C-alpha cells in the first residue's frame, strides 16, 4: 500500500484503515493495554507504599522478603554513578527479559520505511527498566506477571489461528 499510494498520504491512510478493518487488527492494540495498566500501576504504587498490612509481606522467603520495598540479591561494593544504584536487583532483570518476549510477540511488522519506529518498543523497555529498578518489588512483580500473561495470550492466539488455517496478524 505504501508503494502504491506513496504520493497520496490521505488515500494511504484510508486504505490502511480499510485493511485493518478487513483483517480485524486494531491500530491501538499495542498501546491500549499498556495505557489501561497505568492507573493500576499508580494504585499499586500507592498501595505498596502506604498500606500498613503490606509492610514486611514476604512473597518468596530469602529473595522477595517485603513487597513494599525493592528486592535485592547482592549489595554492590560501589555505587553506580548518575543512577545511584548500589544493589543488584534480579526482579527488574527478569522483568526486562519478559518485556523483551512480550515485545517480540506483539510488535507489528514494520516495513523498510519504518526503521525508526521499529526500535521504539526497545527504547521503552529500557525506560521501564530504569523507572522500575528501585520501585517496590510488588510493582515490578505485577509488571513481570503481566508480561508473562501477554506472551501466553499471544502464543495461544497464534496456536488457535494456525489451527484454523488463518495467517496470524500482529497488533499494530
Scan for cell 510477540, then name that residue: 105
pLDDT digits (tens, 9 = 90+) for 5-14: 878 888 887 8
Determine the pLDDT at residue 42: 82
Higher pLDDT, 64 or 53: 64
Residue 48 has pLDDT above 90, yes or no: no
Mean confidence (pLDDT) of the chain:
80
> Alpha-carbon distance 89 to 134, whole Å?
9
> Alpha-carbon distance 132 to 42, whole Å?
12
> Alpha-carbon distance 150 to 139, whole Å?
17
Determine the pLDDT at residue 89: 94
Q: What is the 3-state secondary structure (H, E, C) of the chain?
A: CCCCCCCCHHHHHHHHHHHHHHHCCCCCCCCHHHHHHHHHHHHHHHHHHHCHHHCCCCCECCCECCCCCCCCCEEEEEEECCCCEEEECHHHHHHHHHHHHHHHHHCCCCCHHHHHHHCHHHHHHHHHHHHHCCCCHHHHHHHHHHHHHHHHHHHHHHHHHHHHCCCCCCCC
pLDDT digits (tens, 9 = 90+) for 86-133: 999 999 999 999 988 888 877 644 444 456 667 777 888 888 899 889
Higher pLDDT, 127 or 53: 127
Amino acid at each position: 500500500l505504501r508503494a502504491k499510494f506513496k504520493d497520496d498520504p490521505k488515500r494511504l491512510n484510508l486504505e490502511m484503515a480499510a485493511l485493518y478493518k478487513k483483517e480485524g487488527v486494531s491500530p491501538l492494540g499495542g498501546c491500549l493495554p499498556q495505557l489501561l495498566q497505568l492507573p493500576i500501576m499508580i494504585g499499586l504504587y500507592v498501595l505498596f507504599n502506604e498500606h500498613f498490612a503490606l509492610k514486611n509481606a514476604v512473597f518468596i522467603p530469602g529473595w522477595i522478603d517485603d513487597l513494599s520495598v525493592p528486592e535485592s540479591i547482592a549489595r554492590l561494593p560501589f555505587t553506580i554513578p548518575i543512577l545511584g544504584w548500589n544493589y543488584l536487583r534480579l526482579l527488574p532483570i527478569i522483568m526486562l527479559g519478559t518485556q523483551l518476549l512480550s515485545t517480540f510477540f506483539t510488535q507489528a511488522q514494520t516495513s523498510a520505511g519504518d526503521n525508526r519506529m521499529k526500535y521504539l518498543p526497545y527504547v521503552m523497555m529500557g525506560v521501564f527498566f530504569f523507572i522500575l529498578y528501585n520501585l517496590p518489588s510488588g510493582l515490578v512483580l505485577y509488571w513481570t506477571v503481566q508480561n508473562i500473561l501477554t506472551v501466553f495470550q499471544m502464543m495461544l492466539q497464534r496456536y488457535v489461528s494456525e489451527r484454523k488455517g488463518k495467517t496470524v496478524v500482529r497488533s499494530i
